[in-house]
Amino acid sequence: MSLTPRPHDSSRVIAVLGPTNTGKTHLAIERMCAHASGMIGFPLRLLAREVYDRVVAIKGPERVALITGEERIVPRDARWFLCTAESLPLERDVAFVALDEAQLGADRERGHVFTDRLLRARGREETMILGSEALRPVLRALVPEAEIIERPRFSTLSYAGAKKLSRLPRRSAIVTFSAEEVYATAEMLRRLRGGAAVVMGALSPRTRNAQVAMFQAGEVDYLVATDAIGMGLNLDVGHVAFAGLSKFDGQQRRRLTVAEMAQIAGRAGRHQRDGTFGGLTEEGPEAFEPEEVAAIEAHRFPRLDWLYWRDGTPDLSSIDALLASLARRPDHERLRAAPEATDLRVLKRLAEEAGVRDRARGNVARLWAACGIPDFAKLGIDPHARFVGRVFGYLAQGYVPHQWFADEVARLDRVEGDVETIAGRIAAIRSWAYIAQRPDWLAEPAHWAARTLAVEERLSDALHEKLTQRFVDKRTTALAKKIGSGVGALPVEIDAEGEVTIDTHAIGRLEGFRFIVAPDATAADKRLLLATAEKRLGAERRRRADALVARDDSGFALDEDGVILADGLAVARLKRGASLARPQLALDAALDCLDPAVRESIATRLRAWLTAAIGRALRSVAAAAEAARAPAASPALRSVAAALESGAGFAERLPLRAAIESLSAGDRHWLRRQGVTIGALDLFDPRLLKPGAQAWRRALLAAAGTPAPPLPRAGATTLPRGSAGAVPLMGYRPLGAQAVRIDLVERVARAAHDARAADGRAPFAPDPALAVSIGLESATIARLMAELGFRPASVSAEGPPHYVWRGRARARESRPAPDNAFAALAELVRR
């Protein structure tokens, strides 16, 4: 190993060490901007981009450059360079050089890069090394000329214990260690607290900035991230919660070191504002140990005694010479040979192929550069080595082919798909962007650099949109904030259609008195929205209740199932009462949200409407109900009236014959005045056969517990008896295979008696035109004539059937006695 000084090693070297939130990066930016030129190497592309934007605001875009593996913005007059550590242009002569997070020299995969920059990157006038206090002993040994400055943390970092995800304070960052855990945690937060922003090292700067902007602007109060946030990303975080304390480091799953825990936990608190950290589990292997908590709070970490090293200027004369250089071991006690990184593993894999060795003659530098293409898509060593081998095969001949490059970029230029699909495309386009940034790998590198950047930006915008759709419910977030600030602060608005909004976010609809949660709300959201509605919609419901009480009778209706409607919405339901014409009502459950006194006012109004509506729609039934209980009414009238009420305006005559025969002339006149016809076979009010009245009758019967028969088709004269159900209740008399409407039965009866009256007991034929107009079958006519007291007459076989009067008494004797209470009552009256 060589520690040969660079030309500017005589310049001032300052090491600024300390925990997070000490202003180290801010100091480096200030120092660089104070020099005529400079560059800073960062551990993450995201951080390089963030600082680039800050310096552009100070120096202007024409003087500031950004160099990362996938992005290169280098104006002609660039003097200040913001780069990833791997992309630092060490060949440039600048006045100031800084290396951020230098303790990453102990990282297994990238440590040798940071160690190389620590040893070789120097500014002409000033060099600044930024890192953890743990770096002090190894820095003393490797860079003895460095002036070490210790900076204390601006704010206090304290342990807040373990909290469930649902109990985390606002402005919290939850740290996980894989994309799958990030997505699962963000989904849980969406259900519990309205959503979260997502930050991962694999995100493009554009997506990351859009997600962070949501968090910084307060659109969401939670951020879910990988440990990438530990690398200096500036976020307005008050609390850092660890979902776990172990991660897979590329070799094995291991517990985080205390220094790593502190680096991540230190993101909590900004400048003078204190921060807290904790976990999601109180006990077990993923919980903090007391010793770890004490060390993090006091910023005391094990010192680094060594860093990983690999030759930063290997011999490129041949593949074997290159491999030998990379395998060389350091000769300094503070350095260790770096583990085999991805680029070296790819090189070894390709070196085994004879074709690659042949093409590498004179092209070793290009081969080694191609091996440096990162495995952004995490394909694994074999697929990635094949890809690198194909790229090098083209480079050995000159350039990567235009058509192949264009086809692959076009294949990725699609924004449809879910979060994982689009994130996969972004990872893939980064490889092509990396290739496009190499100035001699493509015939038109500037064109393709712009093209790949445009594709990445489109995919990044799409990914941000998908992440927001999947992990952010802005409605619930707004609710959670407003509820947190007090229920009185909720700006609930209800439009004319009943849509309920809070801060322009639709939370549901108020249909009558029932609040219907927005259909896209999750189960967890529904609890929050219902609670919000119950607390804030009371005044509107009271206004609607007052309007319901004040409306006139035309504002109510009854459906065929006995439900009372107001503006098409259910407000009450009929139930069994003292009698069929005097049902009770039960208010709809949606009105349970109202005060008892308000509910009683509504019930009183609805009972008044119901009484008046029954009187209008079923006048004879209402009158019969009164007469059945009137002390002044005769027993016979009370008996007949009770039967009419029980049948909702219809009653069979035969069981009531004794009571009917006992009716006085005044009783009969009263019945006629109410519209009741005393027919040959039935007592009925013909007005009740109309559809509107039939619907009311059906509803009253159903409320009284009588199985509600189906409503006949409007105007139907007959029904098939087998499908007619309880036809007597609906005003149809069963006669053989048919059921005939009772007012038409009465018409046939009168026509028959008029015909026989002309010639006493002489045989006669019923009017065939009348039977045809009604739709009566011959068997139905025969049955009806028998019910009326006629028997077939013996006449010529030719012509229509003839009948002679037999007498109602003999007809009645031939029928079995009906088995019901009114038949028994009639028998008692007769005796």
Q: Residue 9 CB: number of other CB atoms within 10 A?
A: 15
Give the pairing of strands 732-735 and 738-741.
antiparallel
Residue 479 has pLDDT above 80, yes or no: no
Residue 476 has pLDDT above 80, yes or no: no
Phi-psi region of 173 (alpha: psi -120 to 50; beta: other; left: phi over 0): beta
Q: Which residue has the higher pLDDT, 59 or 281?
A: 59
Q: Residue 720 CB: number of other CB atoms within 10 A?
A: 10
The count of C-alpha atoms lying within 13 angstroms of the C-alpha of 515, restricted to the half-sphere facing its C-beta, is 26
Beta bridge partners of 173: 223, 240
Question: Which structure tokens are listed for 257?
Answer: 């070191």
pLDDT of 148 reads: 95
H helical segments located in 551-690: 596-617, 619-627, 635-646, 657-661, 665-673
pLDDT of 495 reads: 80
| pLDDT classification of 45: cutoffs 50, 70, 90 | confident
pLDDT of 51 reads: 94
Residue 657 has pLDDT above 60, yes or no: yes
Q: Which residue has the higher pLDDT, 530 or 732?
A: 732
The dihedral through the CA atoms of 565, 571, 573, 577 has a sign that is negative
Phi-psi region of 80 (alpha: psi -120 to 50; beta: other; left: phi over 0): beta
Q: Which residue has the higher pLDDT, 191 or 656?
A: 656
pLDDT of 233 reads: 65
For the chain, give the mean pLDDT. 86
CA distance 793 to 755: 14
Closest by CA position to 683, among listed 645, 638, 652: 652
Q: Tokens 């495309």 — which residue?
A: 425
Closest by CA position to 338, among listed 110, 121, 132: 110
The dihedral through the CA atoms of 366, 368, 374, 380 has a sign that is positive
φ, ψ of residue 453 in degrees (nearest 5): -65, -40
Which whole-number Å values give the CA distances from 87 to 51, 232, 324, 356, in the listed order? 15, 18, 24, 26
pLDDT of 532 reads: 67
Kindly report the CA angle at 98 between 93 and 102, in degrees rounded to 5?
Answer: 135
Distance from first CA to last CA of the chain, Å, rounded?
132
* Type of residue at 264: I
Kindly report the CA angle at 514 between 508 and 516, in degrees rounded to 5?
Answer: 25
Which whole-number Å values give the CA distances from 421 to 162, 176, 417, 463, 471, in the listed order? 34, 21, 6, 9, 16
Q: Which residues contact 159 (CB under 8 A, 6 or more apart)?
A: 276, 277, 278, 288, 293, 296, 297
CA distance 348 to 365: 15
Residue 831 has pLDDT above 50, yes or no: no
| Predicted confidence (pLDDT) per residue in 669-680, tens digit | 999 999 999 988
DSSP per-residue codes, 293-324: HHHHHHT--PPP--EEE--SS---SSHHHHHH
pLDDT of 386 reads: 95
Strands (E), 582-709: 582-587, 650-652, 677-678, 682-684
CA distance 451 to 454: 5
> For 210, which DSSP code?
H
Length of the chain in terms of residues written: 831
Q: Mean pLDDT, to the nearest integer, of 767-780?
A: 84
| pLDDT classification of 664: cutoffs 50, 70, 90 | very high
Q: What is the CA radius of gyration of the chain?
A: 47
Q: Residue 516 CB: number of other CB atoms within 10 A?
A: 14
pLDDT of 11 reads: 80
Residue 560 has pLDDT above 80, yes or no: no
| Predicted confidence (pLDDT) per residue in 177-235, tens digit | 888 899 899 988 887 777 899 988 778 888 888 888 888 888 888 999 988 777 656 77
CA distance 353 to 389: 10
Residue 721 has pLDDT above 70, yes or no: no
CA distance 61 to 78: 9
| Predicted confidence (pLDDT) per residue in 779-830, tens digit | 888 888 888 888 888 766 667 788 888 776 544 444 444 545 444 444 444 4
Please tell me which of 151-160, 183-192, 433-442 the model is most confident about, judged by mean pLDDT.
433-442
Q: Tokens 């007809």 — which residue?
A: 811
Q: Which residues contact 268 (CB under 8 A, 6 or more apart)?
A: 157, 173, 237, 238, 239, 240, 275, 276, 277
DSSP per-residue codes, 5-28: PPTTTTSEEEEEE--SSS-HHHHH
Q: Which residues contact 314 (CB under 8 A, 6 or more apart)?
A: 321, 322, 325, 326, 368
Q: Mean pLDDT, to the nearest integer, of 515-533?
A: 69
Q: Residue 248 CB: number of other CB atoms within 10 A?
A: 10
Q: Mean pLDDT, to the nearest integer, of 347-370?
A: 93
Count Cβ atoms within 10 A of the Cβ of residue 153 and give its class: 0-12 exposed, 13-18 middle, 19 or more buried: middle
CA distance 648 to 643: 9
Q: Mean pLDDT, to the nearest integer, of 476-492?
A: 56
Closest by CA position to 471, among listed 184, 176, 205: 184
Dmax (CA) of the chain: 146
Q: Which domains does the chain have, with CATH numbers?
A: 12-150 (3.40.50.300), 157-298 (3.40.50.300), 307-471 (no CATH), 474-536 (no CATH), 739-830 (1.10.10)
% of the chain residues with pLDDT over 90: 48
Contact 712, 719 (CB under 8 A): yes
Q: Mean pLDDT, to the nearest integer, of 89-113?
A: 94
* Type of residue at 188: M
Q: Mean pLDDT, to the nearest integer, of 553-581?
A: 89
Q: Residue 691 CB: number of other CB atoms within 10 A?
A: 11
Q: Mean pLDDT, to the nearest integer, of 159-178?
A: 90
3-state DSSP call for residue 196?
Answer: coil
| Predicted confidence (pLDDT) per residue in 67-85, tens digit | 998 889 999 999 999 999 9
Residue 700 has pLDDT above 50, yes or no: yes
pLDDT of 267 reads: 83
